[in-house]
Amino acid sequence: MSEQDTTAYKPSEIEPRWRELWAETGLFAADDTAPDPVYVLEMFPYPSGDLHMGHLKNYVIGDLLVRLLVAEGRTVLHPMGYDAFGLPAENAAIERGIDPREWTRRNIDTYHETIQKLGLSYDWSRELATCDPEYYRWTQWLFLLLYRHGLAYRRSSNVNWCPSCQTVLANEQVEQGACYRCDTVVTKRKLPQ
Ligand SMILES: [Zn+2]
């Protein structure tokens, strides 16, 4: 006769209960009027497929810091968003024959769900995606401000170019002269910047 082990950790029973309580009580929602808030930002992930353990190296550290600060009574602004603009999304969509918007949205939903399951301490009322017009209108606003003050200008310069991905690569994305994504030999190209 075996007795039921009441000390066993059953995540599927325990974790949703706490996540619901944190959401209901607004434990991680930042109060706009707090006099001395702390801003914690790890980074906004680029939504491709699903999260991997490398993402957690960033997000778990931020989560621990936020939990400590909240326990100390501090107001913390801890947002989550998705760095969701870019050629990789377009290329992935072309490969799969679907609209980049649909591909990106689907990945964002997957990321959102995974991060929720991890129980990370984000203020979900502030979730954003950089491909939303409500978000990028502000980057455009900021750019125009720089432009009007002569701090943004146009000039041609040499860039790393992958002829297969049809995209510019950062120096870090060129590995032994080849594209990190597709191994095509990277060329130089003069482009207006
Ligand atoms: Zn490439």
pLDDT in tens, 109-153: 999 999 999 999 999 999 999 999 999 999 999 999 999 999 999
**Cα 83 to averaged position of ligand 1 atoms, centre (Å):** 20
Residue (of 74, 65, 95, 68) closest to 181 by Cα position: 95
pLDDT at 29: 95
CA of 102 to the centre of ligand 1 (A): 22
How far is ligand 1, taken at its centre, from the CA of residue 177, in Å? 11
- Specify the pLDDT at position 2: 55
pLDDT for the residue numbered 164: 92
pLDDT of residue 7: 81
What b/e string do you get for 40-57 counting C-beta neighbours within 10 Å, with b at 16 or more?
Answer: bebeebbbbeebeeebee
Evaluated on CA atoms 37, 42, 48, 51, the torsion sign reads negative
- Give 90 Cα–ligand 1 centroid separation in angstroms: 13
CA of 132 to the centre of ligand 1 (A): 27
Residue 1 has pLDDT above 60, yes or no: no
Mean pLDDT for the stretch of residues 166-177 = 90
pTM: 0.78
Gap from CA of 52 to ligand 1 centroid (Å): 22
pLDDT-derived band of residue 181, with 50, 70 and 90 as boundaries?
Answer: confident
Question: What value does the mean pLDDT take over residues 54-61?
Answer: 92
Q: How far, in Å, from the CA of 88 to the mean position of ligand 1?
A: 10
C-alpha of residue 164 to centroid of ligand 1, in Å: 5
Q: How far is the CA of 18 from the centre of ligand 1 (A)?
A: 44
